[in-house]
């Protein structure tokens, strides 16, 4: 039987405030871009089901084509905007251009913007001062920093040690577990909430597991599909706050969201999961 919001999606606290966050979020890179009527209809179904199943955290960026415009419009049309924890990004070297970009994001997405993030270190020091000031003024509840490549981990680690950030976003998966070495423990030590992107390695995970049977032991942690296998591995790390797979397909959204329900693998099961992937 498919889990529903009533059966309780797992939540984790945002370390800085204790606010509870459902562990399954929704990304929008690629997925929420475009104008095709059929796709927009599917996106409305995705948004509605996401909220119905208890999801709140929605991550986007001005660089994702017209994703912000689509998200803002669809969220209002299906009546879920007030239920969303809205996260977007700023990517500009100039202070004034960054301020204007953030104002445009707020216009498209609607208020409030709960989390503003600096996208891939662009204009890092300039925008960090602006974001810190805006947080102090109550313009954003939270601020953070994002990247999507393992090659950025050394700089991410430096910034996590020196900046007063509420959230950090980076790539982590069963195929690329390097964040387990330093970033995830550091986030726990510093009280920083962790957003995980690329849990499926941009789809490469499915290329590895295609046509292979799901291991029988996956049932021990309420896992029924390979998508849930990958997501439950990520969510089973205690330092992960939320993961944000992007999709424009309602059936994929429904599958992904089930990873937030039921049991998660323990350390011995995580080890077995890594062994399964290494054998492919």
Cis geometry, peptide bond prior to residue 112 (ω within 30 degrees of 0): yes
HEC string for 95-161: HHHHHHHHHHHHHHHCCCCCEEEEECCCCHHHHHHHHHHHHHCCCCCEEEEECCCHHHHHHHHHHHH
Q: What is the largest CA-CA distance in the chain?
A: 55
**Tokens 């070297």 identify what position?**
93
Residues paired with 197 in a beta bridge: 171
Convert the pLDDT of each residue in 114-172 to its tens digit: 999 999 999 999 999 999 999 999 999 999 999 999 999 999 999 999 999 999 999 99
Convert the pLDDT of each residue in 197-248 to its tens digit: 999 999 999 999 999 999 999 999 999 999 999 999 999 999 999 999 999 9
Structure tokens at 260: 């937030």
**Tokens 């424009």 identify what position?**
248
What is the predicted pLDDT for the residue at 7? 66
User: Is the pLDDT reported for residue 1 higher than 50?
Assistant: no
């Amino acid at each position: 039987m498919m889990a529903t919001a009533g059966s309780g999606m797992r939540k984790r606290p945002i370390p800085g405030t204790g606010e509870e966050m459902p562990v399954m979020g929704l990304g929008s890179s690629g997925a929420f871009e475009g104008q095709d009527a059929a796709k927009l209809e599917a996106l409305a179904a995705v948004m509605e089901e996401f909220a119905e199943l208890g999801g709140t955290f929605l991550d986007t960026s001005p660089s994702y084509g017209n994703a912000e415009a689509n998200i803002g419009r669809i969220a209002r049309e299906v009546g879920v905007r007030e239920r969303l924890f809205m996260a977007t990004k700023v990517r500009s070297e100039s202070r004034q251009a960054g301020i204007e970009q953030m104002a445009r994001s707020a216009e498209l997405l609607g208020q409030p913007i709960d989390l503003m993030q600096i996208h891939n270190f662009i204009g890092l020091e300039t925008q960090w001062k602006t974001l810190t000031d805006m947080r102090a003024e109550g313009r954003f509840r939270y601020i953070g920093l994002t990247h999507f490549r393992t090659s950025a981990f050394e700089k991410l680690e430096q910034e996590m040690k020196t900046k007063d950030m509420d959230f950090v976003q980076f790539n982590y998966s069963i195929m690329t577990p390097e964040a387990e070495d330093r970033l995830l423990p550091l986030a726990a030590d510093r009280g920083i909430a962790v957003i995980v992107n690329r849990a499926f390695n941009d789809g490469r995970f499915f290329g590895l597991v295609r046509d292979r049977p799901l291991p029988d032991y996956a049932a021990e942690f309420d896992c029924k599909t390979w998508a849930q296998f990958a997501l439950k591995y990520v969510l089973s790390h205690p330092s992960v706050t939320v993961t944000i797979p992007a999709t424009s397909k309602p059936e994929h959204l429904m599958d992904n969201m089930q990873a937030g329900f039921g049991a998660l693998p323990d350390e011995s099961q995580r080890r077995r999961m890594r062994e399964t992937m290494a054998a492919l």
